[in-house]
Amino acid sequence: MSNYYSRREFAKSLGIGAGALPFLLNLGSLANAATETLKQRLIIVFSPNGVIPPNFWPDEEGDQFNLKRIMAPLEPFKSKLLTLHGVSDKIRGDGDNHMRGMGCLLTGIELYPGNIQGGSDTPAGWASGISIDQEIKNYLQSKPETQTRFGSLEFGVGVPSRADTWTRMVYSGPNRPVSPLDDPHAMLNKLYGQRKDQESVRSILDDVQADLAKLRSKVSQEDRRLLDEHEALVREFEKQLAPSAADNHVVPTLDAKLEDSNDNIPTLTRQQMDLMLHAIQADFARIFTFQFTNSVGQAKMRWLGIEEDHHGLSHEPDSNEQAVEKLTKINTWYCEQIAYLAQKLSDTPEPNGNGSMLDNTTILWTNELGKGNSHTLENIPFVLIGGGLGFRMGRSLKFKSTPHNRLLLSLAHGFGHQITRFGNENYCGDGPLSLT
Amino acid sequence: MRRLNRSNLVKLSQAALLAWMSFAQPSEALSQDFQQGKEIYQTKCAQCHGSAGQGVAEHFQDPLTGDLSIKELASVIHETMPEGEPKSLTPDQAASVASFVHHEFYSPYAQLRNSPPKKAFSRLTADQYKRSVADLMSVCIGRAQPWTQERGLQRVIAQGEWNKDRKEVEKKVDSQLVWEWTEPKPIPEVDHERWQIRWSGTLLAPITGTYEFILDSTINTKFFLNDERNPLIDASVVSYESSTNSATIHLVAGQVYRFVLDASRHKEPKPKLSLTWKPPSGIQGPIPESYLSATWAPACLTVSTQFPPDDASVGYERGTSISKEWFEALVFSAIEVGNQLASDPKRWMPKEANDPNNVEHIKKWCALWVSSALRRPLSDEDKLHYIDAHFDNGTTLENSIKKVCILALTSPEFQYPATTGTDDEKNIARLALAFWDSLPDAWMIEKAAKQEAHTPEQLRPIIDRMLQDPRFERKLLRFYLEWLGVHSGKDLSKSKERFAMFDPAIESSLRFSLELQLEDFTKTDADLRGLFSSDSVYLDGKLSSHFGGGLEPASPMVKVSMPEQRAVGVLSHPYLQAYYAYHDSSSPIHRGVFLAKRILGRTLRPPVDAIVPISEETAPGLTTRERVAKQTSGAMCQSCHRIINPLGFVFENYDAIGRFRTEESGKPVDATGSYVTNSGDQVEFRNLKELSNFLVDSPEVHQAIVKQLFQFFNKQPLAAYGLDQPELLAKSLQNHGFKVRPLMQDIGLVICRPEPQSPLAQSNNPQTP
């Protein structure tokens, strides 16, 4: 593809009339096509309750390795696969392992000690730092050439409708968990909903700002904090309303609303993944998280003939062969979903001709525990698929109890965000893992 | 009965102050002890725990706080401290340290005193927002008729065509939404081939979520829900064989929806129809009679936009934080409402509207609507800002209405109630949220405008009127479910090998039975102690075959008195017992934690590490009680399990699905237990009945329930209204014969009190000898 002299020239070459120019020039995707930036993306997929290590990790090390049962669905992507055995969540402090496994997974930093003041109920204790996906998102959003409408999108499936340390892994800052959207219709609405109502909303946002200012003068200094945040949210929303590629993108359709129930998890997963693919194609965001249920997730995979809940099963001892078999099936099912996502990305060419979408996307599949019944935070499952971050793929790597903060650093570096510390700096010792 | 008025409240508050002062200044004999405790603490404990119990990073990080009594604390100190040299302190020395620590920073009281909680500046919670929006619409079109005691829909059978030559031949209240025209004719005077049947009334949604309605019919049938013009299910064309149609709709818990099922026969063979539902996370079945009433309701506007869950980490939902997801949901929901309103204004404006295209007329209704949202009359400036400004500039009528709506719903004044305005306006805003989770109505707004809503004498009748409203009754039911910890429900499915009969239908009936039992305490002002002591339970024929009660198999749900102390209020309710149990066995730990935290109001720390329960296979021959005792015998575990286990064991007469048992794996059940009160007295129980006798008289339980009631209703910490409030309100509950509504009167007055009258407000420095 030739380099166009300017965006204006590029638009001209498409034969678009001058009247449409100001509008078109705001389109993120066209702007990018002109500047030839690679659209790097990261998708973090979470599934809960640890894995069955012997059925998960390849025995061999290096580029000659065999996939075990759980990862067998990823066979077609073996050359684009990187398994990282021996990377461990070293963060200690408050909370049980399920809590820390979740809250420190992407933040790499301790949980606050039940600081959301414990009354008659369990104190919450959110993570005390930002998560890596949000860190990278902020980095991408700070540069015009990588800015997108949402920056990041947080998907979920079957996430219980309660906010606590077990249900949140994404943090926009210390004490600021981000809730995943687990209703495909709500996600569709977020992506495309306000298109026809943009004008009505835009016209009242100034009024809302004015009202906030009025109210602000009537409350105490301390209470203003919330109103200031409110004001910032209004401004941020205003930016989202700016015209974007969505305006000439085909809006996906969804079947009638499904109940957010256990048995609908397979269908909801498919719907959410398809929406994510749409969002990728429309370049709404570069960073995605996909959260299956939650830490201590209790999905009952009746569709696999498994009646017991996942977390209950994960407590069974290794000697319980039936449980091991069921857990292997459960984890294989999660892997199949990831394989579906990878396949779709691999089948979709980048609009600017830079290979397939999988070539520019890295999927990171992870978990809050290494193994369910021991609740260990050693050997946390970290499996990467795709070429988004420029790592050398097609390998099975084995580390020796290496802090996962270093992997989080590698993700940032993959995007060119050269931070030297992330989360608890005591675990960032030798810098990013060398994966290239 | 003596009612607490404001001056009584003040007196009580002074009494509590004196009581506290005497506690704050130990007597001389005690003070020697206290001084000794202080010295020992500073020399032997402070280096790990910090001089004020705040913790020391490299030793013991956690602050030294908890709710053990001084006696229990002394025993823990004696047994385990100092680290490495347990038992090096004499019991007396340990006791003096305990008394110092307890007073200075350990006890819940000391914690509150050292950092008194404050009222938090809050927005509407998602639930309050949705209820407020629903009530907003009723400002223009009226509210649902209050329900009578009678349940069921009005069923009319008529000859001829509904809107033409209809002749009613039968009219009755009926709750069976099944109809089959059989031979011989069920109603002789009706022409075989041309008749109509219509059920009409209202439906109460028990929980929030998506409901599915399933219509099976061989004749022309339409089902209308919440909209009398557009059917939710239109089965006007059916094949002569039975055809099934279904549709889903989002409903909000506690809201009442207009319900009409209309069918007519015109020569179709084998006429029959049935309507069933599938509530959120429930199973398909007939709509229970208790959710149907032969009354009328206008359309109810329902917000279906999903909001992120509100923070509930302190035990009740509150709107003290905001996020991007919240703001987006707010805007999307405002658009959703705006679209509903603007696309069909006639539906949301009064019938007497002359011409829906008359702009002035529509502006008038919009003004009423905005005024209701802001909870006050509008000034001329407001009218310009919220209404007129959006009707000019050649905007279409539809867009104008939409903009007014979006602006009102996203306006900070609507979102942050009781922030501006007069005291009267703030009071009615707070009360409406507390008792209805919604907006004050026009009557209250008028009271506030006339400045008749600030003295206790003025507020009492206002509160009393609110407590008669069905919205209060439903909020009270939600409270009870939340208090028992079962509000959101969960999948209770049990081991198929052991409890084959425990199917989803049984689970759903048990839930219904629990709700009926709780409704005995919402519909009337029954003595609350009955929650712990009643010997009755609601059962139907099917439940009775498993849980006793001796009912006929086809019996509908009725209240049954159970023999031999098998039923002990809601505590022994099978739904609750099944809820706090594993899928194959009972769980004394879950049940003990439930009792300690929810009923007794104790604070328990989460376990340090997740522990794998000992499975039955690895410990054959042990009873559940023995397994749990073995598993939690470690010293670390015991700091909490010494409270949890002896409470949980008392429930051992109930298995994993709540059936009464006297044996487990061939061994007799041991359901004895004990509890150390927060004043240090040890109480022993031989069974659940004895535990229940203790609970009904326990001041701890009374304080725990008033605190939870207050915080659930008002969504603010009770201690922010004065550290003595739990005690005062518990007294109020006792003085009012354990009736909820009189207690709520007092709670309403506390909510409206201008300044917190905390006895400690002036004395922030703890008095030490």
Q: Which helix (H) or strand (E) holds B131?
A: helix B126-141
Tell which phi-psi region holds residue A253, choosing left (phi > 0), alpha (psi between -120 and 50) or beta.
beta
Distance from CA of A260 to the nearest CA of B (A): 8
Which of B339, B583, B704 faces A312 most closely, judged by CB atoms? B583
CA atoms within 13 A on the CB side of B699: 11
Condensed to tens digits (0 to 9), the pLDDT of residues A275-301 reads 999 999 888 999 999 999 998 888 999
Same domain for A157 and A276, yes or no, is yes
Tokens 């015998």, located at residue: B633
Question: Which pLDDT band holds residue A124 (cuts at 50, 70, 90)?
Answer: very low
User: Domain span at residue A197?
Assistant: 188-248
DSSP tag of B189: T
A365 domain residue, yes or no: yes
Condensed to tens digits (0 to 9), the pLDDT of residues B439-468 reads 999 899 999 999 999 999 999 999 999 998
- Measured between alpha carbons, how far is B76 from B106 in angstroms, rounded to an integer? 13
Query: Is A134 in the B-facing interface, judged by CB distances under 8 Å?
Result: no
* A208/B613 CB distance under 8 A: no
Query: Is A268 in the B-facing interface, judged by CB distances under 8 Å?
Result: no
User: Which chain A residue has the Cα nearest residue B247?
Assistant: A256
Query: How far is Cα of residue B90 from the mean position of the Cα atoms in its chain?
Result: 48
Percent of chain A with pLDDT over 90: 55
Residue B212 has a pLDDT of 92
Q: Which helix (H) or strand (E) holds B263?
A: strand B256-266
Helix or strand or coil: residue B449? helix
Condensed to tens digits (0 to 9), the pLDDT of residues B724-758 reads 899 999 999 999 999 999 999 999 999 998 754 44
Residue B92 identity: D
Question: Which pLDDT band holds residue A234 (cuts at 50, 70, 90)?
Answer: very high
Question: Which pLDDT band holds residue A113 (cuts at 50, 70, 90)?
Answer: low
A435 domain residue, yes or no: no
- Measured between alpha carbons, how far is B24 from B494 in angstroms, rounded to an integer? 52
For residue B343, the tally of other CB atoms under 10 A from its CB is 11
At the fourth CATH level, which superfamily is domain B20-114?
A: Cytochrome c-like domain (1.10.760.10)
Residue B183 has a pLDDT of 67
Number of domains in chain A: 3
Greater model confidence, B100 or A107? A107
Helix or strand or coil: residue B276? strand
* A179/B308 CB distance under 8 A: yes
- Nearest 10 degrees: CA dihedral of B696, B586, B657, B702? 20
A1 has a pLDDT exceeding 80: no
Residue B670 identity: D
Residue B755 has a pLDDT of 59
Most confident option among A192-201, A262-271, B342-351, B394-403? A262-271
Peptide bond into B82 cis (omega under 30): yes
Name chain A contacts of B587, Cβ cutoff 8 Å: none
Distance from CA of B190 to the nearest CA of A (A): 41
Task: Locate B103 and state its tokens.
Answer: 């007073």
Helix or strand or coil: residue B666? coil
Question: Which pLDDT band holds residue A23 (cuts at 50, 70, 90)?
Answer: very low
Helix or strand or coil: residue A324? helix
Same domain for A123 and A195, yes or no, is no
Angle made by CA atoms A343, A345, A348, in degrees to the nearest 5: 110
Contact B616, B53 (CB under 8 A): no
Residue A313 has a pLDDT of 92
Name chain A contacts of B329, Cβ cutoff 8 Å: 186
Question: Which pLDDT band holds residue B43 (cuts at 50, 70, 90)?
Answer: confident
SS (H, E, C) chain A: CCCCCCHHHHHHHCCCCHHHHHHHCCCHHHHHHHHCCCCCEEEEEECCCCECHHHCCCCCCECCCCCCCCCHHHHHHHHHEEEEEEEECCCCCCCCHHHHHHHCCCCCCCECCCCCCCCCCCCCCCECCCCHHHHHHHHHHCCHHHCCCCEEEEEEECCCCCCCCCCCCEEEECCEEECCECCHHHHHHHHHHHHCCHHHHHHHHHHHHHHHHHHHCCCCHHHHHHHHHHHHHHHHHHHHCCCCHHHHCCCCCCCCCCCCCHHHHHHHHHHHHHHHHHHHHCCCEEEEEEEECCCCCCCCCHHHCCCCCHHHHHCCCCCCHHHHHHHHHHHHHHHHHHHHHHHHHHHCECCCCCCEHHHHEEEEEECCCCECCCCECCCCCEEEECCCCCCCCCEEEEEEEEECHHHHHHHHHHCCCCCCCCCCHHHCCCCCCCCC
What are the CA-CA distances from residue B766 to residues A164, B40, B718, B722 (Å)?
A: 34, 20, 21, 16
* B419/A197 CB distance under 8 A: no
ipTM of the complex: 0.78
User: Which chain A residue has the Cα nearest residue B421?
Assistant: A218
Query: How far is Cα of residue A196 from the mean position of the Cα atoms in its chain?
Result: 28
Lowest mean pLDDT, pick from A127-131, A220-224, A372-376, B496-500: A220-224
Name chain B contacts of A95, Cβ cutoff 8 Å: 606
Contact B576, B591 (CB under 8 A): no
Region A22-33: mean pLDDT is 36
- Measured between alpha carbons, how far is B270 from B181 in angstroms, rounded to an integer? 7
Query: Is A3 in the B-facing interface, judged by CB distances under 8 Å?
Result: no
Name chain A contacts of B317, Cβ cutoff 8 Å: none
List A84's β-bridge partners, or say none.
A397
Condensed to tens digits (0 to 9), the pLDDT of residues B276-313 reads 999 887 788 899 888 999 999 988 888 888 899 898 87
For residue B212, the tally of other CB atoms under 10 A from its CB is 16
Tokens 């509207």, located at residue: B353
* B313/A193 CB distance under 8 A: no
For residue B659, the tally of other CB atoms under 10 A from its CB is 18
Residue B219 has a pLDDT of 83
User: Which chain B residue has the Cα nearest residue A95?
Assistant: B608
Same domain for A312 and A415, yes or no, is yes
Residue B740 has a pLDDT of 95
B2 has a pLDDT exceeding 50: no
Same domain for A77 and A198, yes or no, is no
- Measured between alpha carbons, how far is B399 from A155 in angstroms, rounded to an integer? 32
Region A361-374: mean pLDDT is 94
State in Å, rounded, how far the first CA of chain A is from the last one: 27
Same domain for A149 and A128, yes or no, is yes
* B314/A233 CB distance under 8 A: no
Query: Is A318 in the B-facing interface, judged by CB distances under 8 Å?
Result: no
Distance from CA of A396 to the nearest CA of B (A): 31
B248 CB contacts (<8 Å, ≥6 apart)? A256, A257, A259, B210, B211, B212, B213
Distance from CA of B531 to the nearest CA of A (A): 20
A147 CB contacts (<8 Å, ≥6 apart)? A28, A140, A141
Contact A371, A379 (CB under 8 A): yes
Residue B138 has a pLDDT of 80
Helix or strand or coil: residue B154? strand
A433 domain residue, yes or no: no
Residue A163 identity: A
B34 has a pLDDT exceeding 60: yes
Interface test with A, best of B54, B114, B127, B313 (most A CBs within 10 A): B313
B499 has a pLDDT exceeding 70: yes
Condensed to tens digits (0 to 9), the pLDDT of residues B98-142 reads 888 888 888 877 777 777 778 889 999 999 999 999 898 887 777
Lowest mean pLDDT, pick from B394-398, B442-446, B459-463, B759-763: B759-763
Contact A152, A288 (CB under 8 A): yes
Residue A194 has a pLDDT of 61
* A226/B123 CB distance under 8 A: yes
Query: Is A204 in the B-facing interface, judged by CB distances under 8 Å?
Result: yes
Which of A124, A208, A261 faces B313 most closely, judged by CB atoms? A124
Which of A181, A226, A261 faces B322 most closely, judged by CB atoms? A226
Same domain for A100 and A19, yes or no, is no
Condensed to tens digits (0 to 9), the pLDDT of residues B481-495 reads 999 999 877 778 888
Task: Locate B469 and state its tokens.
Answer: 């409203």
- Measured between alpha carbons, how far is A124 from B659 in angstroms, rounded to an integer? 34
* A194/B403 CB distance under 8 A: no
Same domain for A102 and A57, yes or no, is yes
B213 has a pLDDT exceeding 70: yes
Which of B306, B607, B610 faces A186 most closely, judged by CB atoms? B306
Q: Spell out a b/e string for B353-382, using b for 16 or more CB atoms within 10 Å of the CB, else e.
A: beeeeeeebbbebbbbbbbbbbbbebeeeb
Same domain for A193 and A179, yes or no, is no
User: Which chain A residue has the Cα nearest residue B398?
Assistant: A200
Same domain for A365 and A265, yes or no, is yes
- Measured between alpha carbons, how far is B407 from B400 in angstroms, rounded to an integer? 11
Condensed to tens digits (0 to 9), the pLDDT of residues B410-440 reads 999 999 999 989 999 999 999 999 999 999 9
- Contacts A–B by Cβ distance under 8 A: 178
Which of A120, A230, A307 faces B412 most closely, judged by CB atoms? A230
Name chain B contacts of A48, Cβ cutoff 8 Å: none
Greater model confidence, B310 or A93? B310
A20 domain residue, yes or no: yes
Lowest mean pLDDT, pick from A106-110, B443-447, B523-527, B660-664: B523-527
Lowest mean pLDDT, pick from A60-64, B182-186, B370-374: B182-186
Q: What ranges do the domains of chain B cover?
A: 20-114, 129-141+309-467, 153-293, 482-697
A360 domain residue, yes or no: yes
Most confident option among B252-261, B452-461, B671-680? B452-461
* A215/B248 CB distance under 8 A: no
Question: Which pLDDT band holds residue A19 (cuts at 50, 70, 90)?
Answer: very low
Query: Is A261 in the B-facing interface, judged by CB distances under 8 Å?
Result: yes
Residue B162 has a pLDDT of 62
Condensed to tens digits (0 to 9), the pLDDT of residues A167-220 reads 899 999 887 888 899 989 888 878 876 666 777 788 888 889 989 998 888 888
List B682's β-bridge partners, or say none.
B676
Query: Is A190 in the B-facing interface, judged by CB distances under 8 Å?
Result: yes
* A116/B314 CB distance under 8 A: yes
Which of B248, B308, B412 faces A212 most closely, judged by CB atoms? B412
Region B383-401: mean pLDDT is 86
Distance from CA of A386 to the nearest CA of B (A): 30
Query: Is A305 in the B-facing interface, judged by CB distances under 8 Å?
Result: no
CA dihedral (A393, A399, A405, A406) positive or negative:
negative
Interface of A with B in 151-170 (CB under 8 A): 161-164
Residue A120 has a pLDDT of 33
Greater model confidence, B617 or A140? A140
Residue B608 has a pLDDT of 59
Condensed to tens digits (0 to 9), the pLDDT of residues B146-184 reads 787 788 999 998 887 666 677 888 888 988 888 887 766
Region B37-61: mean pLDDT is 84
Same domain for A77 and A152, yes or no, is yes
Name chain B contacts of A234, Cβ cutoff 8 Å: 327
Which of A119, A124, A203 faces B403 most closely, judged by CB atoms? A203
Same domain for A16 and A68, yes or no, is no
Greater model confidence, B737 or B66? B737
Q: Look over chain B and give the mean of its residue pLDDT values, rounded to a whole number.
A: 85
Q: Which helix (H) or strand (E) holds B448?
A: helix B442-449
Interface test with B, best of A207, A234, A257 (most B CBs within 10 A): A207
Helix or strand or coil: residue B318? strand
CATH code for the domain of A124: 3.40.720.10
Query: Is A213 in the B-facing interface, judged by CB distances under 8 Å?
Result: no
- Measured between alpha carbons, how far is B221 from B203 in angstroms, rounded to an integer? 18
Condensed to tens digits (0 to 9), the pLDDT of residues B314-363 reads 788 899 989 989 999 999 899 989 888 887 777 887 765 556 567 888 88
Number of H helices, E strands in chain B: 28, 17
Residue B765 has a pLDDT of 38
* A211/B412 CB distance under 8 A: yes
Which of A113, A212, A309 faces B62 most closely, judged by CB atoms? A113
Residue B356 has a pLDDT of 57
Same domain for A270 and A317, yes or no, is yes
Interface test with B, best of A92, A205, A225, A233 (most B CBs within 10 A): A233
Region A390-401: mean pLDDT is 95
Question: Which pLDDT band holds residue A28 (cuts at 50, 70, 90)?
Answer: very low
- Tell whether pTM > 0.90: no
Residue B679 has a pLDDT of 82
Name chain A contacts of B598, Cβ cutoff 8 Å: 120
A233 domain residue, yes or no: yes
Query: Is A116 in the B-facing interface, judged by CB distances under 8 Å?
Result: yes
Concatenated DSSP letters of B550-580:
---TT--SEEEEPSTT---GGGG-HHHHHHT
Q: CATH for B153-293, among 2.60.120.1560, 3.40.47.10, 3.40.50.300, 3.30.360.10?
A: 2.60.120.1560
Contact A329, A51 (CB under 8 A): no
A436 domain residue, yes or no: no
Interface test with A, best of B61, B324, B336 (most A CBs within 10 A): B324
Residue B176 has a pLDDT of 86
* B212/A259 CB distance under 8 A: yes
Region A317-328: mean pLDDT is 93
Q: Percentage helix, strand, coil, to 5, in chain B?
A: 45, 15, 45
